[in-house]
Amino acid sequence: MYIIVFFITFLFGCSIQNITNESSSQQSPEELLEFAKANCFFWYFKKKGYDLKDIGSISGGIVEMGSLSADRYQKVSLLVQNYSPLIRTKQNIDIDLLKCFKLDKDPDFIRSIDKLK
Protein backbone atom coordinates (compact mmCIF):
# COMPACT_ATOMS: atom_id res chain seq x y z
CA MET A 1 0.00 0.00 0.00
CA TYR A 2 2.78 2.46 0.92
CA ILE A 3 4.56 1.66 -2.33
CA ILE A 4 1.46 2.58 -4.34
CA VAL A 5 1.06 5.89 -2.46
CA PHE A 6 4.76 6.65 -2.97
CA PHE A 7 4.56 5.81 -6.67
CA ILE A 8 1.48 8.02 -7.22
CA THR A 9 3.13 10.87 -5.29
CA PHE A 10 6.31 10.47 -7.36
CA LEU A 11 4.36 10.58 -10.66
CA PHE A 12 2.40 13.62 -9.52
CA GLY A 13 5.62 15.41 -8.54
CA CYS A 14 7.19 14.67 -11.92
CA SER A 15 4.16 15.96 -13.78
CA ILE A 16 4.16 19.19 -11.72
CA GLN A 17 7.90 19.68 -12.44
CA ASN A 18 7.29 19.24 -16.18
CA ILE A 19 4.45 21.79 -16.16
CA THR A 20 6.61 24.25 -14.20
CA ASN A 21 9.52 23.91 -16.64
CA GLU A 22 7.24 24.44 -19.63
CA SER A 23 5.60 27.54 -18.17
CA SER A 24 8.98 28.96 -17.14
CA SER A 25 10.31 28.77 -20.67
CA GLN A 26 7.18 30.51 -21.94
CA GLN A 27 7.57 33.32 -19.40
CA SER A 28 11.25 33.97 -20.00
CA PRO A 29 10.84 36.88 -22.46
CA GLU A 30 8.63 38.71 -19.95
CA GLU A 31 11.05 37.99 -17.13
CA LEU A 32 13.93 39.33 -19.16
CA LEU A 33 12.01 42.45 -20.21
CA GLU A 34 11.06 43.20 -16.58
CA PHE A 35 14.69 42.81 -15.60
CA ALA A 36 15.79 44.97 -18.55
CA LYS A 37 13.53 47.81 -17.41
CA ALA A 38 14.79 47.66 -13.82
CA ASN A 39 18.37 47.36 -15.02
CA CYS A 40 17.93 50.36 -17.31
CA PHE A 41 16.90 52.48 -14.33
CA PHE A 42 19.90 51.11 -12.42
CA TRP A 43 22.28 52.37 -15.12
CA TYR A 44 20.49 55.73 -15.26
CA PHE A 45 20.65 56.16 -11.46
CA LYS A 46 24.31 55.20 -11.50
CA LYS A 47 25.06 57.79 -14.20
CA LYS A 48 23.30 60.46 -12.12
CA GLY A 49 25.10 59.45 -8.93
CA TYR A 50 21.88 58.45 -7.13
CA ASP A 51 21.71 55.87 -4.37
CA LEU A 52 21.61 52.42 -5.99
CA LYS A 53 20.55 50.34 -2.99
CA ASP A 54 16.81 50.14 -3.74
CA ILE A 55 17.03 49.71 -7.51
CA GLY A 56 19.83 47.17 -7.02
CA SER A 57 17.56 45.23 -4.66
CA ILE A 58 14.77 45.25 -7.23
CA SER A 59 17.06 43.93 -9.97
CA GLY A 60 18.52 41.35 -7.61
CA GLY A 61 15.03 40.24 -6.58
CA ILE A 62 14.02 39.73 -10.19
CA VAL A 63 17.08 37.55 -10.76
CA GLU A 64 16.56 35.64 -7.51
CA MET A 65 12.90 34.92 -8.18
CA GLY A 66 13.36 34.31 -11.91
CA SER A 67 13.51 30.92 -13.53
CA LEU A 68 16.47 31.74 -15.78
CA SER A 69 20.20 31.49 -15.22
CA ALA A 70 22.13 34.45 -13.83
CA ASP A 71 24.19 34.36 -17.03
CA ARG A 72 21.15 35.27 -19.13
CA TYR A 73 20.35 38.20 -16.85
CA GLN A 74 23.96 39.35 -17.14
CA LYS A 75 23.69 39.26 -20.93
CA VAL A 76 20.51 41.33 -20.75
CA SER A 77 22.31 43.82 -18.53
CA LEU A 78 24.97 44.24 -21.21
CA LEU A 79 22.27 44.66 -23.88
CA VAL A 80 20.61 47.37 -21.81
CA GLN A 81 23.89 49.14 -21.18
CA ASN A 82 24.65 49.24 -24.91
CA TYR A 83 21.07 49.96 -26.03
CA SER A 84 20.77 53.28 -27.83
CA PRO A 85 17.51 53.72 -29.70
CA LEU A 86 16.86 56.56 -32.07
CA ILE A 87 14.44 58.63 -30.01
CA ARG A 88 13.32 62.18 -30.55
CA THR A 89 12.24 64.12 -27.50
CA LYS A 90 9.91 67.08 -27.23
CA GLN A 91 11.53 68.61 -24.18
CA ASN A 92 15.17 67.53 -24.55
CA ILE A 93 14.72 64.71 -22.00
CA ASP A 94 17.76 62.63 -21.10
CA ILE A 95 17.86 59.75 -23.60
CA ASP A 96 19.26 57.38 -20.95
CA LEU A 97 16.06 57.86 -18.95
CA LEU A 98 13.70 57.84 -21.90
CA LYS A 99 15.09 54.57 -23.24
CA CYS A 100 13.97 52.83 -20.02
CA PHE A 101 10.38 53.49 -21.06
CA LYS A 102 11.00 52.51 -24.68
CA LEU A 103 12.97 49.27 -24.60
CA ASP A 104 10.08 46.90 -23.87
CA LYS A 105 8.25 48.25 -26.94
CA ASP A 106 11.24 48.34 -29.28
CA PRO A 107 11.10 45.38 -31.69
CA ASP A 108 14.88 45.48 -32.20
CA PHE A 109 15.55 45.25 -28.47
CA ILE A 110 13.00 42.47 -28.05
CA ARG A 111 14.62 40.52 -30.90
CA SER A 112 18.00 40.97 -29.21
CA ILE A 113 16.59 39.47 -26.01
CA ASP A 114 14.97 36.61 -27.92
CA LYS A 115 18.36 35.73 -29.42
CA LEU A 116 19.73 35.14 -25.91
CA LYS A 117 17.74 31.90 -25.53
| Predicted confidence (pLDDT) per residue in 104-114, tens digit | 999 999 999 98
pTM for the whole structure: 0.70
Q: How confident is the model at residue 116 (pLDDT cuts 50, 70, 90)?
A: confident
Handedness of CA 55, 58, 61, 67 (dihedral sign): negative
Q: Which CATH class is domain 27-114?
A: mainly alpha
How many separate helices (H) and strands (E) can be counted in the chain?
A: 5, 0
| Predicted confidence (pLDDT) per residue in 62-102, tens digit | 999 988 888 999 999 999 999 988 877 777 788 889 999 99
